[in-house]
Amino acid sequence: MTKPVLASRTELADLMGPPDANNNGTVFGGRILQMVDKAAGVCAMRHAGNPVVTVAMDRVEFLVPIYLGELVTVEAQVNYVGRSSMEIGVEVYAENLDRGTRRHTNTCLVTMVALDKKGKPRRVPGLRLRTPEEEKRWSAADARRKSRK
């Protein structure tokens, strides 16, 4: 059984408010990572049709601050699937609602594993690649995986 990439594509979004701020008045990096982890989890559950756990999160850079009052949107899609693991690519965007401008702020790669009822890794559906972009993401994830071994 296989599923297309679009079937599990996930978008979470939230408005940043006072509890999300650090002492500089910008949003905590840890707050963004929490949304990234949640979006990757929903995306992986949609693909696997099973509970999942986070196994790793690749290096994330925070080059652009995010401000209170901005809308943070987190987009996750499956890049690659192994037997029971999935690499989820997550893009983070921040939108200034007054000016209507939106900027890309982070890219994250999250590895998740599907679990059966006893908490053991469980086979996930294959990934049906339909566009050159999706094939490129698959190859890059596969290369990363091999270089880590």
Q: Are the C-beta atoms of 79 and 140 separated by less than 8 Å?
A: yes
Q: Which is nearer to its own copies, 35 or 137 (CB)?
A: 35
H/E stretch holding 101: strand 101-114
How many angstroms separate the CA atoms of 127 and 131, rounded? Answer: 12
Q: In the complex, what is the shortest distance from the CB of residue 105 to its own copies, in angstroms, rounded to a whole number?
A: 12
Q: In the complex, what is the shortest distance from the CB of residue 109 to its own copies, in angstroms, rounded to a whole number?
A: 9
Q: Which is nearer to its own copies, 5 or 36 (CB)?
A: 36
Q: In the complex, what is the shortest distance from the CB of residue 41 to its own copies, in angstroms, rounded to a whole number?
A: 7
How many angstroms separate the CA atoms of 53 and 87, rounded? Answer: 12
Q: In the complex, what is the shortest distance from the CB of residue 7 to its own copies, in angstroms, rounded to a whole number?
A: 8
Contacts 24+ apart (CB under 8 A), 97-103: 97/69, 97/70, 97/71, 98/69, 103/64
State CA 25 to chain mean position distance: 25
Q: Which is nearer to its own copies, 135 or 143 (CB)?
A: 143
Q: In the complex, what is the shortest distance from the CB of residue 83 to its own copies, in angstroms, rounded to a whole number?
A: 17
Q: Which is nearer to its own copies, 135 or 148 (CB)?
A: 148
- Output the CA torsion 102→108→111→115 (10° steps): -30
The residues that touch its own copies, with contacts defined as CB under 8 A, are 10-15, 17-19, 21-24, 26, 28-31, 33-38, 41-42, 45-46, 49-51, 53-63, 65, 68-69, 71, 97-100, 115, 119
